[in-house]
Amino acid sequence: MAQINFGGVVENVVTREEFPLAKALETLKNETIAIIGYGVQGPGQALNLKDNGFKVIVGQRKGGKTWDKAVADGWVPGETLFEIEEALEKGTIIQYLLSDAGQIELWPTVKKYLTPGKTLYFSHGFGITYKEKTGIIPPADVDVILVAPKGSGTSLRRLFLEGKGLNSSFAIEQDATGKAREKVIALGIGVGSGYLFETDFYKEVTSDLTGERGTLMGAIQGIFAAQYEVLRENGHTPSEAFNETVEELTQSLMPLVAENGMDWMYANCSTTAQRGALDWWKPFKEATKPVFEKLYSEVKAGNEAQKSIDSNSKPDYREKLEAELKELRESEMWQAGATVRQLRPKN
Ligand SMILES: NC(=O)C1=CN([C@@H]2O[C@H](COP(=O)(O)OP(=O)(O)OC[C@H]3O[C@@H](n4cnc5c(N)ncnc54)[C@H](O)[C@@H]3O)[C@@H](O)[C@H]2O)C=CC1
Ligand SMILES: CC(=O)[C@](C)(O)C(=O)O
Ligand SMILES: [Mg+2]
Ligand SMILES: [Mg+2]
């Protein structure tokens, strides 16, 4: 593994140069990879693995929307697309990519097919870390591994098609065959990771749940909403408020941060903006740090996992989620956003 310095801390990292695709294909040449679940990660990982030359099959409930999506994506019923139990039987590597709540329900079925020497693969530390809540306790004679792409399955696929890649973490929970390490790295490269950094199941799930509730998804919407409301309450129009809150960030400033860091983005703004941003980031940090501390402790206590299991196990969870997304979509801020997006010059 390459030793790479991240801001003064040296970490072990696996790169594509060090573990090329040819080596990954050689490592898994006798394996059949069964992708169980075809939601968001399922398609991204399955298609990338297939296009990279691995032997892949998909297991999905017949007759639903996702079955049709799999067919539309080129998976052939009876050849590469099967009912879940058939795929579980044929697969030597089981990539368990149902929703975290769905994994609990299907676990008794999955367990039946985990014969000695097979591999159980997750993209989240959830099921194993919270095993008291999920009941997911694999037999001792299978390998249990994790590759968690740090981003949406949709981005994993898009970046792959552009010849780029998302970074992923990897972890080994159980090494029954003595080969878990090379298998997990081969799979990480196979699904299209840019590079792989090592973690364990507990650290993966606690950082992931914190990140998505925090800056990646929850906190960002909270900060957008707060600033948008203040601007509107002070007489600014929706287009002005939206542009100064969201559009300029995603279209102009975040690409600069992605390219070369925060100081580079600051340096490309006015000295007036720089003065203000350098002063104001600190009170924002002070104000939000207690919320992040509360969030982390809720995650650590297992309360966030429990909430997600409870709500996502209900039969009508999809309708409820859709209703909440609709409320967000129909809020003035995001309606203004829809109009702003339409007005972006096309060429
Ligand atoms: N969405 C993403 O891009 C990311 C997801 N992950 C992890 O990857 C795993 C898969 O997540 P997603 O792709 O978001 O899943 P998802 O929420 O899209 O669901 C995947 C599939 O599971 C099926 N399903 C749900 N309950 C079921 C049940 N009881 N029986 C049979 N099928 C059922 C759904 O119909 C869907 O086709 C999770 O562990 C998640 O935390 C990790 C990184 C990013
Ligand atoms: C995309 C991702 O990695 C998330 C936000 O953690 C998730 O979808 O669970
Ligand atoms: Mg994540
Ligand atoms: Mg997540």
pLDDT digits (tens, 9 = 90+) for 244-299: 999 999 999 999 999 999 999 999 999 999 999 999 999 999 999 999 999 999 99
Q: Given this model, what pLDDT does residue 347 score?
A: 65
Q: Given this model, what pLDDT does residue 341 score?
A: 97
d(CA 223, CA 225): 5
Q: Given this model, what pLDDT does residue 201 score?
A: 98
Q: Given this model, what pLDDT does residue 123 score?
A: 98
Q: Is 152 in the pocket of ligand 1 (CB under 6 A)?
A: yes
Instruction: Assess whether 124 carries a catalytic annotation.
Output: yes
Q: Is 97 in the pocket of ligand 1 (CB under 6 A)?
A: yes
Cβ atoms 1, 60 nearer than 8 A: no
Sorted by where each begins, the domain ranges of the chain are: 2-200, 212-343
d(CA 343, CA 347): 12
Q: Within a 10 A sphere around the Cβ of 66, how many other Cβ atoms?
A: 16
Residue 239, token pair as written in the block: 């287009």
Q: Helix, strand, coil proportions of the chain in percent (round to 5)?
A: 55, 15, 30
Ligand 2 surroundings by CB, under 6 angstroms: 150-152, 208, 212, 216
Instruction: Using the atom order of ligand 1, give the atom closest to the CA of residue 127.
Output: 39
Q: What is the dotted CATH code of the domain comprising 2-200?
A: 3.40.50.720
Q: Given this model, what pLDDT does residue 167 score?
A: 96
> Which amino acid is residue 6, in one-letter code?
F
Residue 147, token pair as written in the block: 């590759």
Q: Locate tokens 């990338």: which residue?
A: 48
The ipTM of this complex is 0.96
How long, in residues, is the chain? 347
d(CA 33, CA 50): 10
Q: pLDDT digit string (tens) for 116-157?
A: 999 999 999 999 999 999 999 999 999 999 999 999 999 999
Instruction: Using the atom order of ligand 2, give the atom closest to the CA of residue 217.
Output: 5
**How would residue 63 be classed by pLDDT, with cut points 50, 70 and 90?**
confident
